[in-house]
Amino acid sequence: MLNSAPVTRPKLAIVGSGAIGGLIGFKCQQLGYDYQHLVKSQQSPLQVTDISGVSHCLTPEISLISEPQPFDLLILPVKAYQVLVVLEQLHSYIQPQHIIVLLHNGMGTVEQVREMLPNNPLIAATTSYGAFKPDTNTLIETGLGQTHLGWINDVDESVKHAIEPILSALLPPSHWHQDISLALWKKLAVNAVINPLTAIHNIKNGELKNPKYQETINRICEEITRVMDAAGYSVSHAELVKNVLQVISATANNYSSMHQDIKLRRRSEIAFINGYVSAQATKSHIEVPYNQRMFEQIKRLE
């Protein structure tokens, strides 16, 4: 059991200047939280358009990641492959009582962070909020969503009582899970279908409604159902497909993050999405040719 002393007004540190990180900073400002953005270089004010179309000029609280101000809670809304890099950078500032919150697409980082920082309270989260940063000074809240969170290790009840309401208020409604892995697997299935297919075919999410993609969507989900079952998470293939189709409809007009990564020649999160499915499948001696093919095709495009 991890027993950190509960803090009355925790100091939040949000890593990076991505769209979701920017949105969390904006919410912190509105909620009157004590927060800082940890960034690589100084930034100018941010023009935020909220979901109702109202514009706000935000001068975010900024610290250089090389010289962070003290914090209690470290939120990492960064790409999965950046998590360890950021934690290495901040290593000398991270005390065992600091709470770490992972918030990204894909799976596999929980294991990495537990190995690196075994004594820190760790939270894994996933959100369906939408935000878009067309340039460094503009942030648009594009969709209200839901947030799922769960503690990875045992922490004292007093810590939970102090921290959960603070995180819950950021991207509401928020749901706390006893075992967050099931929610992370379900989101993984959504990303394992939408992200590589939209990047490979150079299409918006909504174009996946075309019946020609249905067979591939079914196969990817069917393989994930079997891998989840082997990991102890029982879910029907129909439920995964239904979730995927719902997200395709809800985000029909968006380009997925992997579509944007490939287009902008950035590294993608494929290793933590279909790559993670393949790695888990191998451990359980399960064949996942469709997920493996998605992984290989995106690797070639990268």
87, 107, 183, 247: residue in contact with ligand KPL (rule CB under 6 A): 247
CA–CA distance, 221 with 238 (Å, rounded to integer): 8
36, 109, 120, 191: residue in contact with ligand KPL (rule CB under 6 A): 191
For residue 71, the minimal CB distance to ligand KPL (Å) is 27
Residue 162 contacts ligand KPL per CB under 6 A: no
Q: CA dist 182 to 107, 149, 187, 197, Å?
A: 11, 11, 9, 23
**Closer Cβ to ligand KPL, 120 or 291, answer by number:** 291
Which alpha helices (DSSP H) does the chain contain, by range?
A: 19-31, 83-90, 109-116, 157-168, 181-201, 214-230, 237-250, 257-263, 274-283, 289-301
Catalytic one of 187, 204, 283, 299: 187
**Closer Cβ to ligand KPL, 79 or 98, answer by number:** 79
Residue 194 contacts ligand KPL per CB under 6 A: yes
CA–CA distance, 289 with 224 (Å, rounded to integer): 11
Each residue 76-115 as x (binds ligand KPL by CB under 6 A) or -, in order, gives -----------------------------x----------
CA–CA distance, 84 with 18 (Å, rounded to integer): 17
For residue 201, the minimal CB distance to ligand KPL (Å) is 14
Residue carrying structure tokens 């709470």:
99
Catalytic residue list: 187
The residues of the shown chain that bind ligand KPL, judged by CB under 6 A, are 105, 190-191, 194-195, 205, 247, 251, 254, 256-257
